[in-house]
């Protein structure tokens, strides 16, 4: 597999219509969810090819991706002057 640049990978997927979210599981593992947004249908083949070439079933890369997503989301809520409320777990 080629070198994995997490940020560039996320930007490219978002450009093609995929939004990624991540969840840390109770056992310490990670799960990455792919949400189709506008444009994803037209780019389905390119999205699948990119995912397979960069991540595939490689759990180490899934963990890197999930950790990055969680870190970025956490930083958004902890930014000074950010008065938005955190979403509740059941929403």
pLDDT in tens, 7-45: 999 999 999 999 999 999 999 989 999 999 998 999 999
pLDDT digits (tens, 9 = 90+) for 70-91: 999 888 877 666 555 555 565 5
- In degrees and rounded to multiples of 5, residue 20 shows phi and psi of -105, 140
> What are the beta bridge partners of residue 18?
36
Give the three-class secondary structure for 29.
coil
How far apart, in Å, are the Cα atoms of 82 and each of 21, 48, 75?
20, 35, 10
Residue 37 near residue 48 (C-beta atoms within 8 A)? no
Alpha helices in 1-91 (DSSP H): 6-16, 44-54, 59-78
pTM value is 0.77
């Amino acid at each position: 597999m080629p070198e994995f640049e997490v940020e560039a990978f996320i930007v490219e997927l978002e450009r093609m219509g995929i939004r990624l979210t991540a969840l840390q599981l109770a056992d310490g593992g990670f799960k990455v969810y792919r949400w189709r947004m506008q444009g994803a249908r037209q780019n389905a083949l390119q999205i699948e090819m990119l995912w397979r070439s960069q991540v595939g079933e490689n759990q180490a890369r899934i963990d890197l991706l999930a950790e990055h997503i969680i870190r970025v989301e956490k930083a958004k809520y902890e930014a000074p002057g950010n008065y938005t409320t955190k979403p509740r777990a059941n929403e």
